[in-house]
Chains A and B, each alone.
Chain A
Amino acid sequence: MADVTVKVNGKLRTASVPPETTLLQLLRDHFNLTGAKLGCDVGDCGACTVIVDGKPVNACLMLVGQADGRDVLTIEGLATRDQLHPLQKAFEDHASLQCGFCGPGIILSAKALLDEVPNPTVPEIRDALSGNLCRCTGYTKMIEAIQAAARVLREEPAEPNA
C-alpha cells in the first residue's frame, strides 16, 4: 500500500491505496470528488483533467505516488454553491455545456490558461483546449464564455449584448 498525502482544493487529504492507483481513481473512489470523469483512461479525451501544481494534467495518467505532496485543484474547488467562478458563471450564461460530461475538464483547462494568459486570442484558447474533447457542443460557445470570463477576471466592463 502507498501512503499518500495530497492537498486537494486547499485541504490536506491522505489515503492508503495500492501504488498502481491513478490520481483519477484516488479523487473519484477515495475522496468522492466525482467531478473529474473517466472518459477514455488513456489521456486522449481530457475528461479527467485536474490542475496539479498549477498545470492541467490527465489525472488518469498520474500515479498517486507522483501526486504525493502536490497541490491539486479539481472542479469542486473552483466555487461553492453561493459563489461561482467567473468561468462557471460564463459557461452557464452562454449555455456552453450540453451533456456536461466534458465540462469540468474544459473549465479547468480554461482556468489554467487564464491564470497565465489573461487576454488570450482565439487560437490560444483553442490550443489550451486541444486536450479536451467535446462531442456535443462544437466548442464555439465555450470559446465565447472563456473570452467573457477573461474580461470579468480582467475587471473590464461586459461587452454590449452580442
Chain B
Amino acid sequence: MRAFEYIAARDSRHAVALLSEYGASAKVLAGGTDLLVEFKAASHVPHVVIDISRAEDLRGITLTEQGLSIGASVTHTEIMRSPLIRELCPALVDAAHTIGAVQTRNLGTLGGNLVTCVPSMDSGPTLIALDAMVSIAGPAGCKDMALIEFFVGPRKSILKPGELLVAVVIPKKNLGKPAVFMKFGLRKGQALALVNVAASVHIDSDRHVFREPRIALGAVAPTVIRAQQAEAYLEGRAVTPEAMAEAGGIAAGEAKPISDFRASAAYRRDLIAVLTRRALENICARAGAMREGG
C-alpha cells in the first residue's frame, strides 16, 4: 500500500478531535475489510488513518433507556455471540452470519458495514426493519437520526467531514419484535447479496392480523429501502398465505433493481417477491398464528 500515517484513537472523543485536526486528509479505519482493500487498489491514500477498532466507548453492546445500543466498532462475530442480541434481535445474528467468512467477521465491524454504504450491505436491512437509530458524533456534539436517513447513495453516507458514527440503537419497543433476515447470493459464503430482505412484524394473536409491518430491501436500489406500499398493504390485514404472497409482489414492484453480470433485474424482482413471502411465512410459523386461507 502507499504510505500513510497511523493513529490509534483511544475513544470517540479522541477520534473526533483527530478528524477535526486532519480534516479531509484523514480516513477512519475500523475492521479494514473494506478500507484496506480500497487502499490497495487506489492510486491515492489518505494522509492519516485513524483507527477506532480499539476505541473503548465504541465496542459495547448495552441496554440503555433508549433500547439496545451497539457500538460502531463491534465486530460481526461479537454480534453473533452477544447474549443480548441473540435474545432480543436474533435476526441480526443471522444477518451477521451471512457476511463474508469467519476471518472477515472477526475484523469487520457494524459501523464499517453501515458507513461503507454499499447497496448490498448485509447489516442494514434488519436494522431498518427494526426502526434503528444511529448516533453520530461531531465537532458540534452528538446527534441522533433514523438509520434510513443515514444512507444517501451507493458508497455515500450522510456523514459530513469530521463526523463519526458511534453507535446503532434498536428502539426498546422493537426488542423482541419478530424479525427475519434473508439473503440470496450466488454462493452460501463469501457472497455478495443479489437481494436482501428483512421483515419484521407483530402478529396480533387475538385478531390474527399483521401489526406494524416493516419490510426492508437491500441490493435492489441505490440504498437499502423500505417497501412502504407492501407495509401499508399488510397493516391490519388478515394473516393468510395469499396476503403474504401479495405483499411479496408489491414489494418487488417497489424495488429498482439493476441487471448486471450476477443477475438480471427481472430475476432480482422475482427473488424479492419470494424472499419477502418466505420471511413473512417464517415469522408466522414461529408465531403459530396462521389462519387458513380464504
Known: A43-B103, A55-B106, A131-B102. Contact between A63 and B189, CB under 8 A?
A: no
Known: A42-B37, A127-B189. Contact between A63 and B102, CB under 8 A?
A: no
**Interchain CB contact (< 8 A) of A61 among B2, B33, B54, B188:** B33
- Stretch of B3-11, B151-159, B223-231, B255-263 at the chain-chain interface: B3-11
| Residue of B45, B77, B102, B106 most packed against chain A (CB within 10 A) | B102
Check if A146 is an interface residue, CB within 8 A of chain B. Answer: no
Question: Does A66 contact B32, Cβ atoms closer than 8 Å?
Answer: yes
Residue of A nearest to B4 (CB): A20
Write out the residue numbers on chain A whose beta carbons fall within 8 Å of the beta carbon of B102.
56, 109, 112, 127-128, 130-131
Check if A102 is an interface residue, CB within 8 A of chain B. Answer: no
Question: Does A65 contact B6, Cβ atoms closer than 8 Å?
Answer: yes
Q: How far is the CB of B218 from chain A (nearest CB, A)?
A: 21
Q: How far is the CB of B222 from chain A (nearest CB, A)?
A: 25
Alpha-carbon distance A82/B40, docked complex (angstroms): 40
Check if A62 is an interface residue, CB within 8 A of chain B. Answer: yes
Question: Does A61 contact B77, Cβ atoms closer than 8 Å?
Answer: no
Number of A interface residues in the complex (CB < 8 A): 30
Check if B51 is an interface residue, CB within 8 A of chain A. Answer: yes
Residue of B nearest to A42 (CB): B37
Residue of A nearest to B35 (CB): A61
Check if A49 is an interface residue, CB within 8 A of chain B. Answer: yes
Alpha-carbon distance A56/B2, docked complex (angstroms): 26
Check if A92 is an interface residue, CB within 8 A of chain B. Answer: no
Question: Does A43 contact B37, Cβ atoms closer than 8 Å?
Answer: yes
Residue of B nearest to A65 (CB): B6
Write out the residue numbers on chain B whose beta carbons fall within 8 Å of the beta carbon of A55.
77, 106
Interface size grouping (class) on chain B: 20 to 34
Contact pattern, A 55-69, Cβ under 8 Å of B = 1, otherwise 0 = 111101111011010
Check if B190 is an interface residue, CB within 8 A of chain A. Answer: yes
Alpha-carbon distance A109/B105, docked complex (angstroms): 13
Alpha-carbon distance A73/B277, docked complex (angstroms): 46
Write out the residue numbers on chain B whose beta carbons fall within 8 Å of the beta carbon of A93.
none
Question: Does B189 contact A130, Cβ atoms closer than 8 Å?
Answer: yes
Residue of A nearest to B1 (CB): A20
Alpha-carbon distance A127/B40, docked complex (angstroms): 28
**Interchain CB contact (< 8 A) of B8 among A49, A52, A65:** A65
Check if B29 is an interface residue, CB within 8 A of chain A. Answer: yes
Contact pattern, B 35-53, Cβ under 8 Å of A = 1, otherwise 0 = 0110110000100010101
Known: A61-B36, A65-B51. Contact between A18 and B3, CB under 8 A?
A: yes
Between A and B, 22 residue pairs with Cβ closer than 8 Å are: A2-B6, A19-B3, A19-B4, A20-B3, A22-B1, A42-B37, A43-B100, A43-B107, A46-B101, A55-B77, A55-B106, A57-B107, A58-B33, A61-B33, A62-B32, A62-B107, A109-B102, A109-B103, A127-B102, A130-B102, A131-B103, A131-B189
What residues of chain A have their CB less than 8 Å away from a CB belonging to chain B?
A: 2, 18-20, 22, 41-44, 46, 49, 52, 55-58, 60-63, 65-66, 68, 109, 112, 127-128, 130-132
